[in-house]
Amino acid sequence: MVLCENEDCPVQWYHGDCVGIHDELSEEEEWYCPQCVPAQEPGEKAGAKTIGKGQKKRWAN
């Protein structure tokens, strides 16, 4: 399972295979679901972005 980084996401947890994520995300990546990608800041890469070290991974088995 992978967690959408948008705290207001109506679904929050997704099956990785269902949203095209087949490998565990690195600690430096955040992931936004297809519904929440448009809510990101303009100019940010869709789907994943870099975050600061020490923050939790948003992946659960």
Residue ranges of domains in the chain: 1-61
Q: Which residues of 30-44 are buried (b: 16+ CB within 10 A; e: fewer)?
A: bbbbeebbeebeeee
pTM exceeding 0.75: no
Q: What is the mean pLDDT of the chain?
A: 74
Average confidence (pLDDT) over 22-41: 82
% residues pLDDT > 70 (the chain): 61
The answer to whether domain 1-61 has CATH 3.30.40 is yes
The closest alpha carbon to 10, from 27, 33, 31, belongs to 33
- Dihedral of CA atoms 42, 43, 44, 50 in degrees, nearest 10, equals -120
Average confidence (pLDDT) over 18-41: 83
Asked whether residue 22 carries a pLDDT value surpassing 70, the answer given is: yes
Which amino acid does the sequence have at 41? E
